[in-house]
Chains A and B, each alone.
Chain A
Amino acid sequence: MGIDVLSFSILNGILYGMLLFLLASGLTLIFSMMGVLNFAHASFFMVGAYFGYALSGRIGFFPALIVAPVLVGGIGALVERYGLRRVHKFGHIGELLFTFGVAFVIEEAIQMVWGRSPQNFEVPAALDFTAFTLFGTGYPAFRVFMLVVSLLIFGGLALLLTRTRVGLVVKASLTHPEMVSMLGHNVPLVFMAVFGVGSALAGIAGVIAGPLLVTQPSMAAAIGPILFVIVVVGGLGSLSGAFIASLLVGFIQTFAVAINTSVADVFGLFGIDTAPTFLGPLFTDIWSVNVAQIGPVVPYLLLVLILLFKPSGLIGKRA
């Protein structure tokens, strides 16, 4: 692997990882604070992208980057207040099924409003230039912008949760809701706010990813599964875990693509050039599969291994 390929892969891995972190941060926040695994999270991300698209046409991209997440957060808060709170008393299974249903309702609603075809959500003109060039490949300013926003959110959230009174109340509300309530805090309001902020984070990710990916009704389903991988691998409820896992998944996926080594090549080093036929046709197929082909599946393999050998995740406290 040459130095140019190596540097591309590191850069791509970081950029993709940060996009994933933007999304996973809201999911893990909701989980760590409320114990709810929110299946509708990727759907809020999609709503963010569509709102961002609709608003940026009227008020411009940067105002939309503020307004759209606020609206998505508002929807999230309403979902918590009038849906999740009622379902809460039936336990986690009820909550899980409820968010599952919400995801579906959101997808259909989006199709009713915007139709099924992709929307023409463009990168704002102010960020539509090449930030820097490395070995002949230009890196778009928009991706660098995304990187900056992700880092700001990571820093901001970490500070909010560990260094402020708000974070203290939020964390205490989860473990000792009655005590917090007796101290005069409105615990249900805290939960509603946490869910709202979590959804708003997904909304921000949506507005940023909308122009980068394709703004279409299947975008939630496309990105949903990998988010759960990140949250589980990082450790359910751990913000730093999600950060590390996002980068890990980003690196795995980008580096895998760059590697052309297959089983055949490995054996080739030992002078064995043809697939042993006595192991059957299945093995002959596996023989020629290279790392690039299986790269995108590796994160899911990682998920399985983590669940088997370290169920609490890389940094998680929760088993």
Chain B
Amino acid sequence: MVHRNFLAVSGLALMTAVPAFAEDTFKFAMIDPFSGPAAMVTERIENVLRYSVDEVNAAGGINGQQIEILTFDNKMSPQETAIQAEKAIDAGARILQTSVSSGNTFALVDFVKKYNRRNPDNKVIVFDGASHDPAITGEKCSYYSFSWVLNSEMKTKGLATYLATRDDITKVFLLNAEGSSGLTTRDLVKEMVGEARPDIEWVGDDIHPLQKVTDFAPYIAKIRASGADAVITSDWGADIALVLKAAGEGGLDIPWFTYFTTGPGAPTAIAQAGLDGLVYSAFDGDAGIVSDELKAFEMAYREVTQQSASAFPGDTSAIRGLVAAAAAAGSNDADALVAALEGISLTTVYGAEAEMRPDDHQILAPMAISRLVSVPPTGLDEEGTGWGWENVALIPADQVTLPSTCAMDRP
């Protein structure tokens, strides 16, 4: 498989070997897997980012400069992320954004820490668009990096707050993939949901291999045998799609509390499985939130891309934050921007007020618990399935905010 990826990427590298960069633009580099299985996520993120940037450019850009997006393929590897970051900086990028995996984000944050120390006259900024790992604004936090989505710890806190209102759920099955993201979330769920709902009994706690299982039917049988009345899972990508399809096939009709069902493929799988109203998403937000502003944005966005923008809130927030900071700083210089970004207020794509916390550069915003239901033809559906999100609870920002654990090294 390694060889296959290598071939894929060298082909792409050849195609992009002679880039033409405009001289007088503000360059924003997107360093993400543009090849391989994760490329479908990158594709969605790129669309949201480009749409947001086009809006800004049409309104005159930031301090008179147009924003230009440059894309770099990190092949889903931390080493390659650092190499591509170097290339991006050579191409003139001022902001480097990575979204898809926390391993890549760590690599980028580390690279930029070193780079900024060595090049004090040409500093760059890191944006974390969607990696969800609390360590990015915790132990790995940096003065030059900003996280634009709620991390998994905050999301779990929000989920625990919601589950405190669901007395009907008393037996929960935990299903997670191996790997740091799955295991961390599982521990967080046990701790936070356990604290909010001490009466909940964990009737199962399974760890399965990451993105390797093709048949989840045995897991469904196990969940049924455990007598669970709900499942909490941090599965994503093909895993969540397959497990929900297996649940639909097996006729397991208990609610699923998930973190990553707004992303590509999951709504399609839920609709196919016929799990109407059974799959809950604990996320920054979704198209089901009742807001005229969100609806207008979604309609306009769908007109252009035929996709939903709400699954990737980090990119709209990042661009809105950047625009506000550039206006406040009156300059596009990195140090001026960082200073202005600290504490900047913005309105998220969901129409909620959000703030970039100066202590650890973590965005603070409300979150939503929603479930996927079949919607009338006039409603906002996902992936052309005729099914869309229905919001069941909005968790205010102060309920998901956790104390900062960052010991920031400020210049």
Give A contacts to B, CB under 8 Å.
Answer: 2, 4-5, 8-9, 12, 15-16, 19, 100-101, 103-104, 108, 111, 115-120, 122-123, 130, 136-138, 140, 142-143, 211-214, 216-218, 221-223, 226, 253-255, 257-258, 292-293, 296-297
Contact = CB atoms under 8 A, between A and B. Distances in A.
B157 to A, nearest CB: 27
Contact of B224 (A16, A136, A257): A136
Contacts of B336: none
Contacts of A19: 215
Contacts of B44: 117
A222 B242 CA distance: 12
Contact of A257 (B219, B238, B249, B384): B219
B218 A12 contact: yes
Nearest to B269: A214
Contacts of B224: 136-137
Contact of A12 (B3, B206, B221): B221
B225 A4 contact: yes
B238 A253 contact: no
Interface string B206-228: 11110111110111111011000
B40 A253 contact: no
Contacts of A292: 206-208
Binding site secondary structure of chain B: helix
Given A137-B251, A217-B37, A104 B7 contact: yes
B265 A257 contact: no
24 contacts: A4-B225, A8-B225, A9-B221, A16-B217, A108-B8, A111-B39, A117-B264, A120-B271, A120-B272, A120-B383, A122-B272, A138-B250, A214-B241, A217-B40, A218-B37, A221-B4, A221-B37, A222-B211, A254-B218, A255-B218, A257-B206, A257-B222, A258-B221, A293-B207
Contact of A253 (B211, B218, B242, B264): B218
A222 B218 contact: no
Contact of B272 (A4, A123, A217, A296): A123
B338 to A, nearest CB: 34
B215 A2 contact: no
A120 B384 contact: yes
A126 B190 CA distance: 43
B385 interface: yes
A222 to B, nearest CB: 6
A8 B265 contact: no
B178 interface: yes
B303 to A, nearest CB: 18
Instruction: Find the residue from B8, B219, B222 having the highest chain A CB count within 10 A.
Output: B222
Interface of B: 1, 3-4, 7-8, 37, 39-40, 43-44, 178, 206-209, 211-215, 217-222, 224-225, 238, 241-242, 245, 249-251, 264-265, 268-269, 271-272, 383-385
A116 B251 contact: no
Contact of A118 (B1, B43, B217, B265): B265
B208 A117 contact: no
Nearest to A17: B215
Instruction: Find the residue from A217, A218, A257, A258 having the highest chain B CB count within 10 A.
Output: A257
Given A118-B241, A213-B214, 10 more contacts: A108-B8, A117-B43, A117-B265, A118-B269, A120-B268, A137-B251, A214-B242, A214-B268, A216-B40, A292-B206
Nearest to A118: B265
Nearest to B213: A296
A12 B220 CA distance: 11
B238 A214 contact: yes
A284 B242 CA distance: 32
A296 B218 CA distance: 12
A309 to B, nearest CB: 25
Contacts of B250: 137-138
B231 to A, nearest CB: 15
A11 to B, nearest CB: 9
A156 B217 CA distance: 28
Contacts of A216: 40, 238, 265
Contacts of A213: 214, 242, 245
A126 B184 CA distance: 43
A27 B255 CA distance: 40
A117 B245 CA distance: 17
A140 B215 CA distance: 14
Nearest to A143: B249
Given A9-B221, A118-B268, A137-B251, A221 B213 contact: no
A254 B8 contact: no
Given A120-B384, A120-B385, A138-B250, A257 B218 contact: yes
